[in-house]
Amino acid sequence: MISKNYFVIFVISSINLIQCQITNQYDKILSNQPDYIDAKYIPSMLHNDHIYLTIQYKCSSLTPRRISLSINIERTLYRTNLAIFRRYWFCHKSPNVQLRYVRVQLHRSIAYRSDSELKLVSWPIEEGQLKLIMYKNNQENENEMLKKIQYNVRFLPVHKRPSIRSFRWHPLINKTRDSICPAEPEVIRIIEYPLVLTGRAYGKHFVLPTYHDYGLRLERQIRFTKPRFSIIFWLYIDEYYASESLAVHSAILQHLAFNNTYLTPGIFLNREGQIIVNMFGNLYDRMGTGARTIESIAKKDWCRMAFIVNEYKWDVYINCLQTWDKPIIATHTSPIYYFFDDQLGTFIVGGSVLTPSFRGFISQLDIYRRIALTYEQLPKKLNHSFMPYLPSIIQKSSECKRHFNSFTQSREQADLFNKRIQQKFTCDAQPFLLKKPNRQCLLVRTWKHNLSLPAEAFTDVRYRIYRALRRRKVQSMLDVANKLYDLTMKILESDDFDSFCNLIISWSEQAVCYGHPSASSLLATFHRFGLCGLQSNSTRALELLFTGALLNDRISLLALGHRHFYELDGVPIDYDIAYVYYQQMAETSRQELYNPKAGEASMEYVRLTDDKLIGQLTFDKSDSFYWLRHQAKRGVASAQQRLGALMYAGRNGLTRNIQAAVEYFRLGAAQHDPSSHFGYGLALLKGQGTKKNIAKAIQHIEKAVEHGYLGAKVALGYHAYEIERNYTKAAQYWKECFDQTRDANCAHNLGVMWASGRYPPNYVVDHAQAWQYYSFAAQHGQIDSRVVVAQYNARGGHPVIRNPSLAALVVVAQYNARGGHPVIRNPSLAAFWSRNVAEESSSVGSIVRRALEAYQDRRWHSSFVFYMQAALAGIELGYFNAGFLCNELKESLSKKSNDCIEELLNRYLMVHSQNLQIDSYALLNVAEYYQWKKRNFAEAIKLYVQLYRNGDAQGLYHLAQIEETNSNNTIPSSVWVQVGIRFDEKIIANRYRRLQFVYQHCRQLKTAKSDESYIPCTLAYLRISMLILLNEPSKLILTIILMILSILLFIFRT
């Protein structure tokens, strides 16, 4: 005990001695400074484990002065400039420098690690500021500061902080479970499967998930001005920009606010192939800072690109497969900070309304949040697990190279032939020999008879190409591709194309190599469904679809969107990518509606099981068409209006003919038909099929309104809005039109006025009001509103989003300018809306029209192939009609019934699941397939119930058959309740009584198709009744006695 006291006295004496030495030293140095303050020996890392700060101070005033010591952090999630430690004391006049040792006691969220038992959240803050302030008096007033000193300090990282000690700890024996924080991914895979970018204003939208952990949310806010992240992806550039694009740059990755202003980061390509990076310092920085790479990225090669941001510095690393060891490296350090909030706005991979994309592919895009990778940490190889091939290299195949050589050979020979024609020399020569003879000679017109080639060589496509080049009917490979595709379509439309299958495949492959877009989807149809003797090959079909989509083939775009929407053929489900493909087609459909062209055909949903509707079709050579045209020539106004409407839209079996339609509208208008007045006035207003005449157009439209066609006010409003720029007048027309007729076009136009702030009298932007009109118009088929609804659901961030599949559900998305609230997106709904518009394209309509015409002419094979092409694009009508033809004609089509059901009719049910009006033919055949082939009674029962709900009594009949042929209680009572059958307590235990009751109910049904099931249900009812009699002898004897008495009574009366 005595020795311990001596030790304490020794330590205190040593400290006092050191203190005296320090103060004496500083007294000499600071003798000329009356007031002084400073902190000495600040530790490199602050924590709560016996850390002391040494404060030196000196005052010259008689009045005490306040000295304040604080340690501050920049911000928490809800507060800024927060003091996590604070001490103060007073300084009195002294000629000597004084010392004070202050023990550091940091806020526990900075000093300790998280503890779920104590509800302690550790803040991921590693930097702070130590502030030492001397005031003129004893009050803490910013205006009275005499001296201020500030140092940067550091805290322990979160993973190195100790656990806090507390008496509130519960014994481990009382813990029943461990509290585990949910995992929040730091590496997010945005794109897994290759995304085709066509050089247009479309791209994949995505937002990053919101952090739930307090510490991660806090670190995200701290990193707003010191961002740290990595973006890594693979891209294949076919062209730096689309040929029709006028933009200076092409987009790779964009970050946009909801008012379409750029945010950090933006990655672009210029027309020379150099990478351009744009970064922005704040939300209102419209210009930003940009830099570009010196070297250009290679075309026609897969390249890995890494974009890494580490606070004020960013790096770009580009490695291409062919030149992997020679990467492109670019580095830029900014003098100012970048502002980056990864939960603000939306990211877009590819093009947008501001900047279109390049033409090529992007795959395997990963975002590393809060992580700045080094070059050594980047992934080295392209992962092929989800991509069994590399798209867009189909034209590099040996087969395509052979076709290229054939074309080059034919062109050289044709050029030689034309050159020698001018020289007027003649001789014998073979046009397919590349080696030229020494003697110059000429091929005369009679060269064909003198050639030594075999006769079958003249049917070869090389001869056709040579002849077309020699006669200058084609000039390029694309011209040859168009000719080959046209010849292929003529063969497909012939009566017996089955014998020309090899020629169809060969010419289609050659057309694909030469760059014809539609040939890719046609050939993909044969490979996917195994037509013309080919084996079904979904991988080859996908390869062809990628090639076609890159060239903007409409069927290929629809087919890829369909596969991403339903997760078919090994393609992962991705509604955002499906929306990219569907939206391109939706915009095409919209342009076709407002700018129709002759020869197009509208999409018509005619099922081959509907004989009545097929009989009403007005084909160009049908009797109904001739009768309608005859009536129109006789001056029947209704016939003129109908014929004009059908020809203008290309509906009901007629091909679109704008000029003929306008002429019929003119004839109908001469007889004051209101619809014809409107149609003719609209044609004059837009100059479609006739010369533009606005004054005359307005006269006809006003006459349409006078004769009771109130929907014509939409055109009067259009004239006031676009030409007169009279928004008050336009709003009046459209509001009256909407209130009187609930016209969808008027509703959309009112939505446009509210969204653009042009609705009188206040002229303010009101998105919520606009959305009410947009949603109404979209649900009533207005094409522009459907596109708008799809866009809002893809990007999110809009005040109101309505879900059409749940009409009563209205989701309100509240957000502010900084995007602090979660963004409500619905990618599946966006893809759903855009798909509905995309399927109305004339390209789909033309294929369906060819199929229907072939069916009418009894060309079964042709009809089947065209419907299969529509099925490849995901059109439900294609699945159903192809399945119908396959099932009914499976022997002639060399198809198995299983293939017809599983590949086509079952897919039809999958695509048509959101519609209640499902065709009974498909339900019945698929249900029987599950019942007898798959022995899946649960699925069969579900389909039979749906068949019954569609008004077809066969569903109830087959349910009873399942109950009769299988063990007791195969069908649960809940299923019988769904079909409206409730068994009495007296019969529920007797199987045959239950069946008798079901068949009796089936006989009594009164539906549109009940006549078809009456006889089967009656026979089954009689059979079950006989079984009941045989099983109950007393009732059988009673029945026989009654029959004998009835016979005797009849004989007695006679």
Residues constituting the chain:
1054
| 163-178: average pLDDT | 59
SS3 60: coil
| Residue 627 tokens, joined | 């009768």
Q: Are residues 963 and 998 in the same domain?
A: yes
User: What is residue 1025's predicted lDDT score, i.e. its pLDDT?
Assistant: 81
Classify each residue of 689-721 as buried b or exposed e, where b means 16 or more C-beta atoms within 10 Å of its C-beta: bbeeeeeebbebbbbbbeeebbbbbbbbbbbbb
Spatial distance between the Cα atoms of 1054 and 1051, rounded to a whole number of angstroms: 5
User: What is residue 391's predicted lDDT score, i.e. its pLDDT?
Assistant: 54
**Residue 897 reports pLDDT greater than 70:** no
Asked if residue 570 is part of any domain, the answer here is no
Q: Dihedral (C-alpha) 328, 334, 339, 341: value to the nearest 10 degrees?
A: 20
For residue 238, give the H/E element and its range. Answer: strand 228-239
Instruction: State how far Cα 159 lies from the chain centre.
Output: 40
Digit-coded pLDDT (tens) for 521-537: 999 999 999 988 889 99
Digit-coded pLDDT (tens) for 2-55: 455 554 444 445 545 445 555 556 666 666 778 889 998 899 899 888 889 999
Q: Is 318 exposed, middle or buried (0-12, 13-18, 19+ CB in 10 A)?
A: buried
134 strand-pairing partners: 67, 147
CATH number at residue 81: 2.60.40.1930
**Residue 460 reports pLDDT greater than 70:** no
Given pLDDT bands bounded at 50, 70 and 90, which one contains residue 801? very low
Q: Are residues 137 and 216 in the same domain?
A: no
Q: Is 146 exposed, middle or buried (0-12, 13-18, 19+ CB in 10 A)?
A: middle
| Residue 878 tokens, joined | 């294609």
**Residue 236 reports pLDDT greater than 80:** yes
Q: Which of 373, 391, 409 is the last residue of a domain?
A: 391
Spatial distance between the Cα atoms of 839 and 578, rounded to a whole number of angstroms: 13
Dihedral sign from CA coordinates of 433, 434, 437, 443: positive
**Residue 477 reports pLDDT greater than 90:** no
Identify which has the larger pLDDT, 387 or 599: 599
User: What is residue 798's predicted lDDT score, i.e. its pLDDT?
Assistant: 58
Q: Dihedral (C-alpha) 171, 172, 174, 177: value to the nearest 10 degrees?
A: 140
CB-CB neighbours of 847 under 10 Å: 29
Q: Are residues 934 and 993 in the same domain?
A: yes
Q: How far is CA 191 from CA 362, 367, 476, in A?
A: 8, 10, 37
Digit-coded pLDDT (tens) for 635-693: 888 888 888 888 888 888 788 888 888 888 888 888 888 888 888 898 898 888 888 88
Closest CA to 681 of 659, 657, 699: 699
Digit-coded pLDDT (tens) for 388-444: 455 545 666 777 888 888 888 888 888 887 777 666 544 554 444 444 444 444 333
User: What is residue 422's predicted lDDT score, i.e. its pLDDT?
Assistant: 65
Contact between 320 and 302 (Cβ < 8 Å) = yes
- Give the rounded percent of residues in the chain with a pLDDT score beyond 70: 84
User: What is residue 566's predicted lDDT score, i.e. its pLDDT?
Assistant: 94
Contact between 430 and 404 (Cβ < 8 Å) = no
User: What is residue 586's predicted lDDT score, i.e. its pLDDT?
Assistant: 94
Dihedral sign from CA coordinates of 389, 393, 398, 400: positive
Q: What is the DSSP string of 117-181?
A: TTTB------EEEEEEEEESSSS--GGGEEEEEEEEEEB--GGGPPPPP-TTPPPGGG--S---P
Q: How many CA atoms lie within 13 A of 816 on its CB side?
A: 4
CB-CB neighbours of 571 under 10 Å: 23
Dihedral sign from CA coordinates of 538, 543, 544, 549: positive
Q: Are residues 349 and 237 in the same domain?
A: yes
Contact between 362 and 235 (Cβ < 8 Å) = yes
Cis peptide before 822 (omega within 30 of 0): no
DSSP 8-state secondary structure symbol assigned to residue 114: -
Q: How many CA atoms lie within 13 A of 332 on its CB side?
A: 22
User: What is residue 821's predicted lDDT score, i.e. its pLDDT?
Assistant: 36
Q: Are residues 251 and 227 in the same domain?
A: yes
Given pLDDT bands bounded at 50, 70 and 90, which one contains residue 739? very high
| Residue 265 tokens, joined | 């980061």
Q: What is the DSSP string of 627-675?
A: HHHHHHHTT-HHHHHHHHHHHHHT-TTPPP-HHHHHHHHHHHHHTT-HH
User: What is residue 561's predicted lDDT score, i.e. its pLDDT?
Assistant: 96
For residue 396, give the H/E element and its range. Answer: none
Q: Are residues 254 and 152 in the same domain?
A: no
Q: Which of 349, 375, 391 is the last residue of a domain?
A: 391
Asked if residue 532 is part of any domain, the answer here is no
**Residue 454 reports pLDDT greater than 80:** no
Q: Are residues 319 and 454 in the same domain?
A: no
SS3 375: helix
Q: Are residues 1029 and 1052 in the same domain?
A: yes
Contact between 521 and 553 (Cβ < 8 Å) = yes
Spatial distance between the Cα atoms of 240 and 330, rounded to a whole number of angstroms: 19
Task: Name the average pLDDT for the chain.
Answer: 82
| 952-976: average pLDDT | 82
User: What is residue 871's predicted lDDT score, i.e. its pLDDT?
Assistant: 95
User: What is residue 1053's predicted lDDT score, i.e. its pLDDT?
Assistant: 65
Spatial distance between the Cα atoms of 179 and 167, rounded to a whole number of angstroms: 19
203 strand-pairing partners: 350
**Residue 804 reports pLDDT greater than 60:** no
Asked if residue 850 is part of any domain, the answer here is no
Q: Are residues 122 and 12 in the same domain?
A: no
Residue 417 belongs to domain spanning: 393-475
Region of 716 please: left (phi>0), alpha (psi -120 to 50) or beta: alpha
For residue 549, give the H/E element and its range. Answer: helix 538-550
Spatial distance between the Cα atoms of 955 and 936, rounded to a whole number of angstroms: 16
Q: Are residues 206 and 328 in the same domain?
A: yes
Contact between 948 and 979 (Cβ < 8 Å) = yes
User: What is residue 167's predicted lDDT score, i.e. its pLDDT?
Assistant: 60
Q: Dihedral (C-alpha) 124, 130, 136, 137: value to the nearest 10 degrees?
A: 60
Contact between 875 and 852 (Cβ < 8 Å) = no
316 strand-pairing partners: 307, 330
Digit-coded pLDDT (tens) for 139-154: 888 888 999 999 999 9
Digit-coded pLDDT (tens) for 743-771: 999 999 999 999 999 999 888 988 888 98
Q: Which of 652, 682, 707 is the last residue of a domain?
A: 707
- Give the rounded percent of residues in the chain with a pLDDT score beyond 90: 34
CATH number at residue 225: 2.60.120.200
Region of 925 please: left (phi>0), alpha (psi -120 to 50) or beta: alpha
Digit-coded pLDDT (tens) for 183-201: 888 899 999 999 999 999 9
Spatial distance between the Cα atoms of 625 and 615, rounded to a whole number of angstroms: 12
Q: How far is CA 828 from CA 455, 481, 575, 805, in A?
A: 58, 37, 5, 11
Rg (CA), the chain: 40
Asked if residue 882 is part of any domain, the answer here is no
Cis peptide before 265 (omega within 30 of 0): yes
Asked if residue 333 is part of any domain, the answer here is yes
Given pLDDT bands bounded at 50, 70 and 90, which one contains residue 572? very high
Structural domains in the chain (count): 6
Q: Are residues 369 and 470 in the same domain?
A: no
User: What is residue 1038's predicted lDDT score, i.e. its pLDDT?
Assistant: 66
Q: Are residues 956 and 976 in the same domain?
A: yes
Given pLDDT bands bounded at 50, 70 and 90, which one contains residue 287? low
User: What is residue 10's predicted lDDT score, i.e. its pLDDT?
Assistant: 47
Asked if residue 885 is part of any domain, the answer here is no
Asked if residue 883 is part of any domain, the answer here is no
User: What is residue 447's predicted lDDT score, i.e. its pLDDT?
Assistant: 35
Closest CA to 46 of 160, 148, 213: 160
Asked if residue 215 is part of any domain, the answer here is yes
User: What is residue 433's predicted lDDT score, i.e. its pLDDT?
Assistant: 45
| 342-362: average pLDDT | 93
Closest CA to 745 of 791, 724, 789, 776: 776
User: What is residue 649's predicted lDDT score, i.e. its pLDDT?
Assistant: 82
**Residue 354 reports pLDDT greater than 70:** yes
Digit-coded pLDDT (tens) for 1013-1046: 788 888 888 888 887 777 766 666 666 776 777 7
> Which stretches of 822-914 are assigned E, i.e. beta strand?
none
**Residue 985 reports pLDDT greater than 70:** yes
